[in-house]
Amino acid sequence: MNITQRYRWLYKPAVFIIALLPLARLVAGAFGIAGISLGADPVNEILHECGKTALQLLLITLAVRPLVRLGRLHNLLRLRRMLGLFAAFYALLHFVTYAWLDQNLDFQAILADILKRPYITIGMAALLMLVPLAVTSTNGWMRRLGRRWQKLHYLIYPIAILGVWHFWWQVKADIREPLAYAAILAALLGYRVVVKARSVSATARGRSADPAP
């Protein structure tokens, strides 16, 4: 198998299945399949699991570019779209769980929450920005948008920041877990700042610039 075939028949299906595992556990737990339990408050468990999985996939998506550069693993880029789409998928499930299972589709209460609770406001903003990125992830949209596609997809940075902030803001006292997410995000963003700064100074000195991060 050449590299393209390996990605198509091995790596992509493997990532696809792994990314579905958190959902599989939630579904099994919700219906008591295979002795899996979601504990005494399954709604809360589903809510938090979807939210955290979305954030984890978002961070993994953002880790692809540094890995490509540092590890010379250029082919990893082939997995990035799927990872990003799964992040959007779990973020959407997180919202649906909140609106449906937690708030019983009481739109008045949901709207009040979005307007009055800052951590929900920013979470909602992140989700709304994630939607156009998911929609325009196809080859067709990439072609149609041309250079503007890249600009649009820089939205991933504010989305990730708002997402981690949303997590941080809703914990009661124990910030260790959101702190870990924030540290990883800071490293991933910091890496890009450093690369960008180097490329700018390299250009200023008249040498050929590194490709954009």
Partner 1 sequence: MKRPDNRIRPSEITPPEVYFDRRQMMALGLASLAAGGIAGRRALAAEAGNASTILAARYKAARNTKLSIASTPNTYEAITTYNNFYEFGTDKSDPSQNAREFRTTPWNVEIGGECEVKGSFTLEDILKPVTFEERVYRLRCVEAWSMVIPWVGFPLADLIKRFKPTSKAKHVEFTTLLDRQQMPGQRYRVLDWPYVEGLRMDEAMHPLTFMVVGVYGRILPNQNGAPLRLVTPWKYGFKNIKSIVRIRFVEKQPLNSWQVAAPNEYGYYANVNPKVDHPRWSQATERRIGGSLFAQRSATEMFNGYAEQVASLYAGMDLTRNF
Options 5, 104, 139, 208; binder of partner 1; rule CB under 8 A: 104
Q: What stretches of 41-137 show up as alpha helix (H) in DSSP? A: 42-71, 77-96, 107-116, 118-135
Work out whether 28 is an interface residue with partner 1 (CB under 8 A). no
> Does 39 help bind partner 1 (rule: CB under 8 A)?
yes
- Sign of the Cα torsion 201, 186, 52, 44 reads negative
Looking at the Cβ atoms of 7 and 168, the one nearer to partner 1 is: 168
How near is the Cβ of 145 to partner 1 at its closest, in Å?
Answer: 38
**At which residue do the structure tokens 């769980």 appear?**
97
Token readout for 86 is 């799964």
Q: What tokens does 160 get?
A: 């990730």
72 vs 176, beta carbon nearer partner 1: 176
Asked whether 62 and 156 are in contact (CB, 8 A), the reply is yes
> Is residue 14 a contact point for partner 1 (CB under 8 A)?
no
With the C-alpha atoms ordered 21, 22, 25, 28, is the resulting torsion angle positive or negative? negative
| C-beta closer to partner 1: residue 143 or 176 | 176
Query: Does 121 engage in binding with partner 1 (CB under 8 A)?
Result: no
Position 41 contacts partner 1 (CB under 8 A): yes
Where do contacts with partner 1 occur on this chain (CB under 8 A)? 30, 37, 39-44, 101-104, 106, 109, 112-113, 116-119, 169-170, 172-174, 176
